[in-house]
Chain A
């Protein structure tokens, strides 16, 4: 069965960087794009970025460009997202989500990684 297993919670100081991981299993990793979506406490969902695991190409939402880097490791079926220059507003639950048949909606989600940015 399809599973997306995300890395554990992180606590970071303002200005630091954080690298999140999402390990996929149960399907052909290269065949489906992966997205990152975040949710601030008691807030809605915000799309951040997408990566094509086949060639590593990525697209990042405008508000995150310059601060977000997406990579993948096909040998371990893992995608990574690094967010730099963290600020308190980046405190959120970060989800990876598989793109269903590369159409644009999300059929499987990871369990989420809580990132807390605090001095």
Chain B
């Protein structure tokens, strides 16, 4: 299986900060990567797919980049609603795998 490693595991930030989360794949996954946001007690919500395509309805302060084995999720100006846990997920192989998550907290 393709292993996905996110960093950092926890990120402390303030409203208005620019935040970057990194996701690394154990082998090349081209651009077959998605990002999700999860708030406590809720199901994950799709933010970005194909590494950089913003899902409909997702604010433009979210952006994704990368290909191959290294990817980033950037929040350009952190808003109060953005404090949550973020997961990357590869779909290059049939056995989908997630990163371990990055918690963005105050």
Chain A residues near B (Cβ < 8 Å): 35, 44-47, 50, 59, 61-62, 95, 97, 100, 103-107, 109-112
Contact = CB atoms under 8 A, between A and B. Distances in A.
* Interface of B: prevailing SS: loop
Contacts of A47: 89, 95-98
Interface string B86-106: 010101101111111100000
Given A44-B100, A44-B101, A106-B46, 15 more contacts: A35-B96, A44-B99, A45-B36, A62-B95, A95-B43, A95-B44, A97-B43, A100-B46, A104-B91, A105-B34, A105-B89, A106-B36, A106-B44, A106-B89, A111-B43
B7 interface: no
Interface residues of B, number: 23
